[in-house]
Chain A
Amino acid sequence: MNELGLLVGSPSPRRVGRVLTYRKAAVVSLLFPPTGIASMYYSLKSAGLARKGEVEPAREAGGKARDWAWYSVGIGLTVYVIAFMAYVLFNNDGAVRIVFFAWSILSDRRSWVSLLKGFWINVQVFMITEVIVLVWALVVAIVRLLPGKACRPIRFLATLYVDVFRAIPALLVVSLIGLGFLQAKVPLAGDLSDMQYVILALTLTYGAYVSEVYRAGIESVHWGQLAAARSLGLSYSQSLRHVVVPQAVRRVVAPLLNDFIGLQKDTAIISFIGVLDVVARARFINNSKGTLAGYSMAAMLFLLVTIPFTRWLEWLQRRTQNRTQGGR
């Protein structure tokens, strides 16, 4: 031990002057030759320079070898994945392409019109359900977080609801409510339209999921925020409304959006109880033409709605972040 003592230790005997030639990375990257060859060239150059003792140029070449190896990963993998998909699509005399993307059906205007009519039902269902779920799930989340002994029974009830409806497949809930409520003349809900039953069923299912998202968001807001709000004289509900919930909602936009995309897709379930939605109509097209192109077309319609929706919400989230977080 030297005189610097235990905490400092002895000066390191290691060298920092090694030259990295990235030989292994270059060899692996040869699996994608266009960039792999460049990587190998620089790696060899680096090794050669290092042997001559020209450390700085050797390092520079080594760095280039590393950069090109990473290009091999990024570009090479992409090219190979796309090539594999093309291979699948056009193999067997294009059977895959014909089953999924038969041009004669894809270009048929009447099929698209029929599908769009059905898709409009799906759109209505998920738009209405999303609005109701947004409110209903927040109510459930807040009930689950009510403080105090007195609220224990109602907390328990809310927990039970969430546990039950998260556990049952949406398909079963839609079937049970959509077919059963009418048959059993359930009070208050014995005489609704198919679409209303579907909205009710999906609200109950997704309300359970989304309430958990809200709950996580509310719990993630530091307790000091509630303390500060209460200490200013705001009541518990005022504190939730003005301080805690707004922060919680901003934090859970991404998972909320995730659940809503799930909901948009799950509206496909309603074809099971005889609603002529996009999936039911796609099935007709498939059956009459003997392909699966109808489903592909329906899938495209879902894509068309979901992807812009995602981008829009991401933009919205970025905007609020820029506003509240320091842009120093």
Chain B
Amino acid sequence: MSFLEIRDVHKFFGEAHILRGIDLDVELHQVVCLIGASGSGKSTLLRCINALEIIDQGMIRIDGERCSGSGIDVDALRQEIGIVFQSFNLFPHMSVLDNITLAPRKVLRIPMDEAEDRALQLLARIGLADKARDYPDRLSGGQQQRVAIVRALAMEPRLMLLDEITSALDPELVAEVLNIVRDLARDGMTMMLATHEMHFAKEVASKVCFLHEGVILEEGPPEQIFGDPTEERTQAFLKRIIDAGRL
């Protein structure tokens, strides 16, 4: 039994059939990269896993426990699963420190000073301790995204979902964000990444999945997917990436 089991998941947005039967297993400490064109369902799949979207058919299990369908405790589920968005979504009316401590204080009921100590430790680890009292608008995009990652980590999740977290960043800021992800991978965090950074996927992924029109067309170790893809669609996709100079 895998840590995360996704079985025959379907999702509709009105008439549009976005996910058309996704099957995927993620083991503990694995880093799974989802690649594929825009609209192939990468983001939707991540959002379904932590129940930001309700799946229309299928089953998702974490550690053997059902975490989709009716009667599940979504708030408890989301404490186990951190997600970081392309657009950071920091809370602009709160300082960096408050952004990070809000959920630990309100959800886990950790006392203020304890939550702040922990947040400051995390910020120190990513080199942003001096920004603790600043508001998000004063930070660069890369700094904001690093804070967003720390905000998710503060809940001590068992699974992290990263939804194209470098796509909104200026190129020179991408590395500082990816470095944190690399550190997390080394520390053994279980992660799923939707990404367009193929170099990075090649480097950190234990498994790469190519999504096309709502199904996982091909999955395997990065050497195989990037080096010797069997599906024609995967080959075409990778060729476009190489033509654009991105691999």
B partners with A: yes
Q: Does B79 contact A (CB under 8 A)?
A: yes
> Are A232 and B135 in contact, with the CB atoms below 8 A?
no
Q: Mark B93-122 against chain A: 1 for CB-CB distance below 8 A, else 0.
A: 100000000110011000000000000000
Instruction: Using A231-B82, A232-B102, A233-B107 as known contacts, say yes or no to A324 and B92 having CB atoms under 8 A apart.
Output: yes
A contact patch SS: helix
> Are B106 and A324 in contact, with the CB atoms below 8 A?
no
In whole Å, how far is A158's beta carbon from the nearest beta carbon of chain B? 25
Instruction: Using A224-B85, A224-B87, A328-B138 as known contacts, say yes or no to A231 and B93 having CB atoms under 8 A apart.
Output: no
> Are A231 and B107 in contact, with the CB atoms below 8 A?
no
In angstroms, Cα B102 to Cα A206, docked, is 34
Q: Does A74 contact B (CB under 8 A)?
A: no
Q: Does A242 contact B (CB under 8 A)?
A: yes
User: In the complex, what residues of B have CB within 8 A of residue A274's CB?
Assistant: none
Closest to A328 in B: B138
Closest to B152 in A: A232
| Residues 205-263 of A contacting B (Cβ, < 8 Å) | 222, 224-225, 227-235, 238, 242-243, 246-247, 250
> Are A230 and B78 in contact, with the CB atoms below 8 A?
yes
Q: Does A325 contact B (CB under 8 A)?
A: yes
User: In the complex, what residues of B have CB within 8 A of residue A328's CB?
Assistant: 138
User: In the complex, what residues of A have CB within 8 A of residue B89's CB?
Assistant: 222, 224-225, 227-228
User: In the complex, what residues of B have CB within 8 A of residue A234's CB?
Assistant: 75, 102-103, 106-107
Candidates B47, B74, B107, B137; contact of A324 at CB < 8 Å: B137
User: In the complex, what residues of A have CB within 8 A of residue B52's CB?
Assistant: 227, 230-231
User: In the complex, what residues of A have CB within 8 A of residue B78's CB?
Assistant: 230-233
In angstroms, Cα B131 to Cα A234, docked, is 24
In angstroms, Cα B138 to Cα A327, docked, is 7
Q: Does A149 contact B (CB under 8 A)?
A: no
Q: Does B155 contact A (CB under 8 A)?
A: yes
> Are B135 and A324 in contact, with the CB atoms below 8 A?
yes
> Are A232 and B107 in contact, with the CB atoms below 8 A?
yes
> Are A232 and B91 in contact, with the CB atoms below 8 A?
no
Task: Give the interface centre of A231, A234, A324 by most chain B CB atoms within 10 Å.
Answer: A231
User: In the complex, what residues of B have CB within 8 A of residue A246's CB?
Assistant: 93
Q: Does A15 contact B (CB under 8 A)?
A: no
In angstroms, Cα B80 to Cα A77, docked, is 66
Q: Mark B132-157 against chain A: 1 for CB-CB distance below 8 A, else 0.
A: 00010110000000001001100100
In whole Å, how far is A250's beta carbon from the nearest beta carbon of chain B? 6
In whole Å, how far is A113's beta carbon from the nearest beta carbon of chain B? 46
> Are A232 and B87 in contact, with the CB atoms below 8 A?
no
Q: Does B83 contact A (CB under 8 A)?
A: yes
In angstroms, Cα B102 to Cα A266, docked, is 41
> Are B155 and A233 in contact, with the CB atoms below 8 A?
yes
In angstroms, Cα B135 to Cα A242, docked, is 16
In angstroms, Cα B74 to Cα A235, docked, is 9
In angstroms, Cα B93 to Cα A234, docked, is 17
In whole Å, how far is A147's beta carbon from the nearest beta carbon of chain B? 12
Q: Does A11 contact B (CB under 8 A)?
A: no
Q: Does B76 contact A (CB under 8 A)?
A: yes
User: In the complex, what residues of A have CB within 8 A of residue B107's CB?
Assistant: 232-234, 238
> Are A228 and B91 in contact, with the CB atoms below 8 A?
yes
Q: Does A323 contact B (CB under 8 A)?
A: yes
> Are A233 and B138 in contact, with the CB atoms below 8 A?
no
Q: Does A9 contact B (CB under 8 A)?
A: no
Q: Does A290 contact B (CB under 8 A)?
A: no
In angstroms, Cα B87 to Cα A233, docked, is 19
User: In the complex, what residues of B have CB within 8 A of residue A325's CB?
Assistant: 135, 137
Q: Does B50 contact A (CB under 8 A)?
A: yes
Q: Does A153 contact B (CB under 8 A)?
A: no
In whole Å, how far is B143's beta carbon from the nearest beta carbon of chain A? 12
In whole Å, how far is A119's beta carbon from the nearest beta carbon of chain B? 37
> Are A238 and B106 in contact, with the CB atoms below 8 A?
yes
Closest to B148 in A: A228
User: In the complex, what residues of B have CB within 8 A of residue A227's CB?
Assistant: 47, 52, 85, 89
Instruction: Using A232-B151, A238-B106 as known contacts, say yes or no to A324 and B75 having CB atoms under 8 A apart.
Output: no
User: In the complex, what residues of B have CB within 8 A of residue A243's CB?
Assistant: 91, 102
Q: Does A53 contact B (CB under 8 A)?
A: no
In whole Å, how far is A240's beta carbon from the nearest beta carbon of chain B? 12
| Residues 82-134 of A contacting B (Cβ, < 8 Å) | none
Q: Which 9 A-B pairs have the closest CB atoms?
A: A228-B89, A232-B103, A233-B79, A326-B138, A224-B89, A233-B107, A326-B137, A233-B78, A231-B83
28 example contacts (A-B, Cβ-Cβ < 8 A) are as follows A224-B87, A227-B47, A227-B52, A227-B85, A228-B90, A231-B50, A231-B52, A231-B78, A231-B81, A231-B83, A231-B152, A232-B78, A232-B82, A232-B107, A232-B151, A233-B75, A233-B78, A233-B79, A234-B75, A234-B106, A238-B106, A243-B91, A247-B93, A250-B93, A324-B92, A324-B93, A325-B135, A327-B138
